[in-house]
């Protein structure tokens, strides 16, 4: 009995080691570098919080955070709504379900570097004759084109997850609702959606990680431009890591980004632990 209690922990050791070395170790190292005056090579010259000070005085960094917030909210909302609608439609026993599912899921299977270039061609003014749409070269609207392209990419994926959730719902509920004469939309909104809770949480977490690491879409579509209008934090970090040979500042950016993610995830983790405690 006692032996069985130990074995699972023993089996978890390799994963534990990976987490300690690769995740926590890399984080500790990044945090350390962010406190030094490292340029292209990591140095031990300790300068305290100076990199962070510079980071938050940097207009481009602040703009990047702002862009990420706009992008994050719009991207997650749009993906959830479109993904759910697609899943609900397919769930109504349409013909050719398999084909439709494949079509909607296809964008997710492609690299964004490739599709980003295609989106850039499509959205470049004059790229398609007779189609005038100039958001890509507009300072104030360019970030929405990135949202548009990535929603196209990810909403099929959300649909697949939601569809799996919908299939898990007991058909008896539908029969009962029909007997009571409740309209279909009302069943979805008041009965099905609350039952999908765990699926929705998974989807949000997955989409949120996609938001934080947003990089390839911006690089292939706008390169952060026009000007600095569509810059995002991951691009700021990558630029300073290599192009601008300032790994100290880049590390400071990475640490800030990680702390933001932790701050966003903390309420969720807390809620889950509370739920488990009460259950």
Partner 1 sequence: MFKRSKQAAACSLALFAAGVAQAGAGSAAPALNAEVIHWWTSGGESAAVKQLAGAYRAAGGNWIDTAIAGGDQARAVTLNRMVGGKAPAAAQFNISKQFIDVVEQDMLTPLDDIAKQQNWDQTLPEPIVKAIKYEGHYYALPLDIHMQTWIWYSKAAFKKAGIAKEPATMDELFAALDKLKAAGLIPLAHGGQAWQENVLFAGILANVGGKQLYLQVMRDRDQKAINSDAMRKVLLAYKRMQSYVDANAPGRNWNDATALLVSGKAGVQIMGDWAKGEFTAARQLPGQDYGCIAGLGPDVPYLIQGDAFVFPKSERADVQQAQKLMAKTLVTPATQISFNKLKGSLPPRIDTDTSSLDACSQAGAAIMRGKTRLAGAPEVYLTPDQNGALQDALTSYWNTTMPVEKAQKALAAALRN
Closest CA to 237 of 58, 37, 46: 58
Shortest reach from residue 251's CB to partner 1, in Å: 14
**CA distances for 26 relative to 51, 169, 191, 255, 265, angstroms:** 19, 42, 44, 11, 20
Shortest reach from residue 145's CB to partner 1, in Å: 11
Touching partner 1, residues 216-245 (CB under 8 A): 222-229, 239-240, 242-245
By C-beta, is 118 or 264 nearer to partner 1? 118
Touching partner 1, residues 92-121 (CB under 8 A): 120
- Which x/- pattern, by CB under 8 A, does the window 157-196 give for partner 1? ----------------------------------------
DSSP label of 133: -
Phi and psi, residue 40, nearest 5°:
-80, -20
Shortest reach from residue 236's CB to partner 1, in Å: 10
Tokens at 257, concatenated: 């980004």
Q: Is residue 139 within the footprint of partner 1 (CB under 8 A)?
A: yes
User: CA 85 to CA 97: how far, in whole Å?
Assistant: 14
DSSP label of 232: -
User: CA 216 to CA 79: how far, in whole Å?
Assistant: 18
Number of Cβ within a 10 Å radius of residue 61? 21
Touching partner 1, residues 56-85 (CB under 8 A): 59-60
Q: How many residues form the binding site for partner 1 (CB under 8 A)?
A: 30
User: CA 47 to CA 252: how far, in whole Å?
Assistant: 12
Shortest reach from residue 121's CB to partner 1, in Å: 11
By C-beta, is 224 or 253 nearer to partner 1? 224
- Which x/- pattern, by CB under 8 A, does the window 243-262 give for partner 1? xxxx--x-------------
* Residue 167 Ramachandran class (φ > 0 left, ψ -120 to 50 alpha, else beta): alpha
Residues interacting with partner 1, by CB under 8 A? 39-41, 54, 59-60, 120, 124-126, 134, 136-137, 139, 222-229, 239-240, 242-246, 249
């Amino acid at each position: 009995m006692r032996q069985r209690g130990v074995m699972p922990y023993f089996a978890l050791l390799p994963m534990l080691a990976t987490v300690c070395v690769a995740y926590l170790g890399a984080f500790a190292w990044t945090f350390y570098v962010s406190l030094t005056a490292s340029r292209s090579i990591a140095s031990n010259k300790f300068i305290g919080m100076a990199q962070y000070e510079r980071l938050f005085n940097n207009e481009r960094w602040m703009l990047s955070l702002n862009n990420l917030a706009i992008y994050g909210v719009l991207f997650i909302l749009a993906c959830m709504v479109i993904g759910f609608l697609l899943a609900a439609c397919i769930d109504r026993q349409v013909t050719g379900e398999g084909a439709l599912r494949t079509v909607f899921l296809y964008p997710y299977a492609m690299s964004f570097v490739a599709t980003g270039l295609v989106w850039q061609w499509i959205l470049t003014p004059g790229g398609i004759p007779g189609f005038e749409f100039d958001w890509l070269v507009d300072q104030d609207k360019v970030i929405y084109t990135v949202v548009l392209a990535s929603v196209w990419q990810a909403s099929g994926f959300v649909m697949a997850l939601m569809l799996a959730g919908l299939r898990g719902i007991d058909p008896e509920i539908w029969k009962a609702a029909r007997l009571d004469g409740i309209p279909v939309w009302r069943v979805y909104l008041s009965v099905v959606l609350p039952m999908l809770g765990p699926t929705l949480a998974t989807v949000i977490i997955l989409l949120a990680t996609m938001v934080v690491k947003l990089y390839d879409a911006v690089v292939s579509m706008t390169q952060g431009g026009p000007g600095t209008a569509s810059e995002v934090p991951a691009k700021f970090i990558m630029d300073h890591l290599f192009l601008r040979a300032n790994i100290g500042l880049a590390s400071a950016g990475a640490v800030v980004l990680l702390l933001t993610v932790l701050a966003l995830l903390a309420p969720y983790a807390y809620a889950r632990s509370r739920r488990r405690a009460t259950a």
